[in-house]
Amino acid sequence: MRKLVLWIALTSLAGAQDLEMRQGGKALARFSLAELKKIATPTTLRLDAGTKNYWVVPVKPLIEKAYGPKAYGEDITFLFVCRDGYRSPVKAEEIRVLPAYLAFSTSDGKPFELEKKPLGPFYLVWDSEKYPERKLGGNWPYQVVAIERANFSQAYAATLPPPKSSAQVKHGFAVFRKKCLSCHQINGQGGSMGIDLNQPASVTEYIKKPYLHKIISDPSTVRGRATMPALDATFPHREQAIRDIIAYLEAKAAQRRKASKAAKPGK
Ligand code: HEC
């Protein structure tokens, strides 16, 4: 009997379109779709010249309902947790300033899927027609089941610039965090659309610097069929920003070499 009750509880949970709000590894709240629609007003969003049409709720009111109006901060990141455990980090500032939405169905009767992959329960989308910096086809997590509020410096400690880094390395990291970390890992932390750029070998060790600069600027100038997007043409002080990213990647490579030497004394 107890088993049956548990089974009913579990299956009804699994089937529902719920969103869990977490902090410090614990669930703070769980919103059903009906609750989400009460907290944040649903609207339709038209993307990709009208070929993709979704019913969405804005993310900001959900965040503020769960974590309060002081949910944001320089060191805060929101991890969009997908069904398979993948976590896509988004800076708190971006959620505060840019219009992020959770899509929960299509608004044109098409199946709620992309290239045959189901998008539900939730799909993080941005109004990329108004805000082209959030490119359609950038890293938009789907099958989102939870949002987790985390301190970036704890959750992504292995990506931080080494202690006592120069201002250039620190700035390179700030740009990297904003433009690259959602797809790439450093020492196993970050997104998984691209490769880990620091281990086992760093891109600064096996790609000549002028080519590394070109790949970061626009991969299609070096490689055919590259899927990585070019850095936005309008990125402020673009050339210097790329040099700063490379300085950050070099600093992480040097830090790793130093650590592996220390681990193997006498070599
Ligand atoms: C939307 C996801 C995405 C973003 C954002 C992204 N990359 Fe990539 N990157 C990739 C993928 C995927 C590859 C593999 C090659 C390809 O398909 O273009 C790659 C390849 C690379 C490579 C070549 C590595 C090798 O060994 O061949 C470098 C270097 C690189 N990325 C650096 C960066 C930097 C620096 C940024 C930020 C300015 C960045 N990438 C942003 C997805 C991304």
User: What ligand 1 atom has the least distance to the C-alpha of 245?
Assistant: 35
Question: pLDDT digits over 213-230, tens only?
Answer: 999 999 999 999 999 999
Cis amide leading into 236 (omega within 30): no
Average pLDDT over residues 110-127: 94
Residue 220 CA to ligand 1 centre (angstroms): 11
Residue 193 CA to ligand 1 centre (angstroms): 8
Q: Tell me how far apart the alpha carbons of residues 80 and 90 are, in angstroms, rounded to a whole number.
A: 8
Among the listed residues 93, 29, 101, 77, the one whose alpha carbon sits nearest the alpha carbon of residue 191: 77
Residue 229 CA to ligand 1 centre (angstroms): 8
Among the listed residues 67, 62, 60, the one whose alpha carbon sits nearest the alpha carbon of residue 28: 67
Q: Which pLDDT score, from 0 to 100, does residue 248 have? A: 98
Q: Which pLDDT score, from 0 to 100, does residue 262 have? A: 87
Spatial contact of 124 and 80, defined as CB atoms under 8 Å apart: yes
Q: Is 186 in the pocket of ligand 1 (CB under 6 A)?
A: no
Q: Which pLDDT score, from 0 to 100, does residue 137 have? A: 61
Q: Is 245 in the pocket of ligand 1 (CB under 6 A)?
A: yes
Q: Which pLDDT score, from 0 to 100, does residue 3 have? A: 54
Q: Which pLDDT score, from 0 to 100, does residue 136 have? A: 66
Question: What mean pLDDT is reported for the chain?
Answer: 90
Q: Which pLDDT score, from 0 to 100, does residue 138 have? A: 64
Q: Tell me how far apart the alpha carbons of residues 209 and 27 are, in angstroms, rounded to a whole number.
A: 45
Average pLDDT over residues 76-95: 91
What percentage of the chain carries pLDDT values higher than 90? 73
Spatial contact of 126 and 100, defined as CB atoms under 8 Å apart: yes
- State the burial class of residue 266 (Cβ atoms within 10 Å of its Cβ: 0-12, 13-18, 19+): exposed
Looking at ligand 1, which residue's alpha carbon is closest to its atom 6? Answer: 180
- State the burial class of residue 52 (Cβ atoms within 10 Å of its Cβ: 0-12, 13-18, 19+): middle
Question: pLDDT digits over 227-266, tens only?
Answer: 999 999 999 999 999 999 999 999 999 999 999 888 877 6
Among the listed residues 257, 253, 156, 259, the one whose alpha carbon sits nearest the alpha carbon of residue 205: 253
Residue 219 CA to ligand 1 centre (angstroms): 8
CB burial of 88-118 (b: ≥16 within 10 Å; e: otherwise) equals bbbbbebbbebbbbbbbbbbeeeebeeeeee
